């Protein structure tokens, strides 16, 4: 019985990790649990410090009408540590890179180097996509494979790229240069300006990037490796 309870609790935390902040009602419906059952699991996850309760974002409360909105549950840094991450690989790569420089800004150089690799691989991942929506969907699929639990959502002015997990959140919270370089790489590979609206590293529930699809160019399908050779990365 205990193992079954543990598995269900893991599903609750995983659902929040992959789908973003959710209320108890939303979680119960998604996981087919009773209100009493979901509350029991949420209370324990809260007591363990794996989740925290927050007021929902304004855009979600506007649809609820009057009355006090339900709290939403967000995964904490401690909770994220329970899931797969690549901190060790990132730290090792950073140390190797930084060890080769003595008088340069090693953190920015490393961030740019990592962004160049992301740009090159994303360029290949979206090379077969012919429309803006398919390019961003392919980008989301690539990021999910990298551990970001990403999805794309079409909106009236463009597309929102949502990343429900960040494998390097702890590192990025101390070194925002990593997020900035990653955003610039996404912008270059899509051939349009993109805007980060929220980041897990700064304490938000998910990383959200706005992409205006009407400006994505056909040249975005070329490999990022070509652009990095021309000095596109600073």
110-135, pLDDT tens digit by residue? 889 999 999 999 999 999 888 889 99
Predicted local confidence at residue 77, as pLDDT? 81
84-98 residues labelled b (16+ CB within 10 A) or e (exposed): ebeeeebeeebeebe
Q: Is domain 2-81 in CATH 1.10.10.10, yes or no?
A: yes
Give this prediction's pTM: 0.61
Whole-number pLDDT of residue 83: 67
pLDDT at residue number 233:
35
DSSP 8-state assignment for residue 176: T
In CATH terms, the fold of domain 87-229 is Muramoyl-pentapeptide Carboxypeptidase; domain 2 (3.30.1380)
Greatest CA separation for the chain? 60
Question: From residue 76, how far is each of 15, 30, 31, 51, 149 by CA, in Å?
Answer: 13, 20, 20, 5, 16
Q: Please identify every stretch of the chain with a pLDDT value under 70, giving residue numbers as ranges.
A: 1-3, 57-69, 83-92, 95, 99, 102-104, 215-234
Short-list 204, 115, 222, 107, CA closest to 165: 204
Q: Which of these, 86, 88, 57, lies nearest to 166 by C-alpha position?
A: 86
> 3-class DSSP state for residue 218?
helix
The domain segmentation of the chain, as residue ranges, is 2-81, 87-229
Nearest to 98 by CA among 106, 87, 86: 106
At 189, give phi and psi (nearest 5°).
-70, -25
Strand-pair partners of 210: 160, 195
What gap in Å lies between CA 136 and CA 209, rounded to an integer? 11
Q: Would you state the pLDDT for residue 216? A: 64
What pLDDT is attached to residue 59? Answer: 47
Q: Are 143 and 163 in contact (CB under 8 A)?
A: yes
- The pLDDT score that the predictor gives to residue 103 is 61
- Give the pLDDT confidence score for residue 219 in this predicted structure: 46
Q: Where are the alpha helices (DSSP H) in 20-131?
A: 24-31, 35-47, 58-61, 77-81, 87-98, 106-125
Q: How many CB atoms lie within 10 A of CB 40?
A: 16
């Amino acid at each position: 019985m205990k193992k079954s309870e543990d598995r269900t609790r893991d599903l609750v935390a995983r659902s929040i990790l992959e789908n973003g902040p959710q209320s108890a009602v939303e979680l119960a419906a998604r996981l087919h649990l009773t209100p009493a059952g979901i509350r029991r699991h949420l209370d324990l996850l809260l007591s363990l410090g794996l989740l925290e309760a927050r007021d929902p974002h304004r855009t979600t409360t506007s649809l609820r009408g009057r009355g006090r909105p339900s709290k939403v549950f967000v995964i904490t840094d401690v909770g994220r540590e329970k899931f797969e991450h690549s901190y060790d690989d990132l730290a090792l790569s950073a140390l190797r890179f930084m060890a080769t420089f003595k008088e340069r800004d090693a953190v920015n150089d490393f961030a740019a180097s990592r962004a160049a690799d992301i740009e090159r691989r994303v360029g290949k991942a979206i090379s077969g996509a012919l429309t803006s929506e398919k390019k961003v969907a392919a980008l989301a699929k690539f990021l999910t494979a990298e551990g970001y639990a990403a999805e794309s959502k079409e909106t009236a002015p463009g597309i929102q790229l949502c990343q429900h997990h960040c494998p390097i959140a702890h590192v990025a919270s101390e070194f925002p240069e990593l997020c900035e370089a990653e955003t610039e790489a996404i912008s270059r590979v899509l051939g349009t300006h993109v805007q980060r609206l929220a980041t897990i590293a700064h304490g938000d529930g998910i990383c959200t990037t706005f992409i205006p699809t009407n400006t994505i160019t056909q040249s975005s399908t070329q490999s990022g490796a070509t652009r990095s050779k021309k000095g596109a990365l600073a």
